[in-house]
Homo-oligomer: A and B are copies of this chain.
Amino acid sequence: MSVTAPLGFRAAGVAAGIKSGGARDLALVVNDGPSRAAAGVFTANRVQAAPVLWSRQVLAGGRVRAVVLNSGGANACTGPEGFQDTHATAEKAAAVLADSAGEIAVCSTGLIGERLPMDALLSGVETAATQLSRDGGLAAADAIRTTDTVSKISFRRASGYMVGGMAKGAGMLAPALATMLCVITTDADLTSEELDATLRRATATTFDRLDADGCMSTNDTVLLLASGASGVRPDLAEFEQKVTEVCADLARQLLVDAEGATKAIAIEVVGAASEDDAVKVGRTVSRSNLLKCAIHGEDPNWGRVLAAVGTTDAVFEPDRLNVAINGIWICRAGAVGDDRDKVDMRPRDVTITIDLSAGPYTATVHTTDLTAAYVHENSAYSS
């Protein structure tokens, strides 16, 4: 179902020859309207790939007719020539769709610092345009995979309209290949301002709280496109809930498919003085290599949790910290709590609950364990 679940969208995924080996590597998603309102969120990295620089400008206009996505190359750190390549990609899609390049978004993923094979890419856009269909969502989701072992798709049915989405991400979790890309579609009728507000809130509590190795891509992009083809003006609260569910579902799929990971770790911070504090503590703990190694070894090492919490400036007193792992409060009041042998570390899902005893706010950050397989995968990529 993917991005073609909602009415008004067609998609295709083709093998353009950007990747060696003949796998699908180019996707095209087209919004046939009647509306083409759109919003996007992009990487906060200051080193931004050419397609991010381009698509930011497109999205500033609030309208997107189509998105071209390629795997096999990130087109990042490629200088003015790389930007011209992205521009040419948008111009080609505009030509085949008889539309304006200013409403064509472009996303790329793959190795940083290499130019894209433009002949292959541009003829791929032509081929994809001939294969656009209402069934093309799965092929498109397949074409954006890099080291992803499976396609990531999701959809939700709402009151008279649909929300659909696709994502790729070995990235963000363990970005051997830079980047998390995501396209979400809906046939509800909304303004670009409404889409923007919805998307920012939905990503803030889903993709933004997925932090497997602390490495931020140069290419991360999440787009939300509305065709209005259902004719339904949605209740905004319901719409935000559905978009958030699709984002959370895709984020979960990214986490489960993260390279080398054997554990999905939820770091649940409670008792925080603010939501910012809760997120900050969760993110800091999620970036502790020592803790991630311990969880990989099925060691409920709460000392490493406290050592990480202690590096933040969140409001807390060290002797009021409590930590539970998989429901057993093995640290109470900053010291030894219940018997660590009671903690069952065998399940794939591990929940670490950190009670800051400082207020009513909570947040959960998701990460994975650190494994020898992660090291192997990321040691042997471009060479």
Contact = CB atoms under 8 A, between A and B. Distances in A.
A303 interface: yes
Given A46-B318, A318-B46, A82 B335 contact: yes
Q: How many copies does the complex hold?
A: 2
Given A311-B45, A375-B375, A381-B297, A287 B214 contact: yes
B379 A294 contact: yes
A327 to B, nearest CB: 18
Interface stretch (A26-34, A72-80, A192-200): A72-80
Nearest to A290: B215
Given A175-B290, A289-B289, A334-B77, A306 B213 contact: no
Nearest to A369: B379
A23 interface: no
A96 B33 CA distance: 87
A46 B296 contact: no
A334 B77 CA distance: 6
A107 interface: no
Contacts of A308: 215
Given A307-B112, A375-B370, A382-B299, A213 B336 contact: no
Contacts of A379: 293-294, 296-297, 299
B215 A288 contact: yes
Interface string A3-29: 000000000000000000000000000
A289 B378 contact: yes
A296 B78 CA distance: 25
B378 A333 contact: no
Contacts of A307: 45, 47, 76, 112, 178, 215-218
Contacts of A300: 383
Contact of A311 (B74, B216, B382, B383): B216
Interface in A255-298: 287-290, 293-294, 296-298
A201 interface: no
Q: Tell me if A's interface is mostly helix, strand, loop or mixed.
A: loop
A227 interface: no
A310 interface: yes
A301 interface: yes
A302 interface: yes
Interface residues of A, number: 69
Given A45-B310, A47-B309, A48-B318, A378 B290 contact: yes
A303 B175 CA distance: 12
A99 interface: no
A331 interface: yes
Contacts of A79: 319, 333-336
A335 B77 contact: yes
A278 to B, nearest CB: 16
Nearest to A115: B336
21 contacts: A45-B310, A46-B316, A47-B307, A47-B309, A47-B321, A48-B318, A76-B306, A77-B336, A111-B303, A112-B303, A216-B307, A217-B307, A289-B378, A293-B374, A297-B380, A299-B379, A299-B380, A299-B382, A372-B372, A372-B376, A375-B375
Interface of A: 44-48, 74, 76-79, 81-82, 111-114, 175-176, 178, 213-218, 287-290, 293-294, 296-304, 306-312, 316, 318-319, 321, 331, 333-336, 370-372, 374-383
Given A294-B378, A297-B383, A371-B375, 13 more contacts: A47-B318, A76-B307, A77-B336, A113-B331, A214-B289, A216-B311, A290-B378, A293-B374, A294-B382, A297-B378, A299-B382, A370-B375, A372-B376
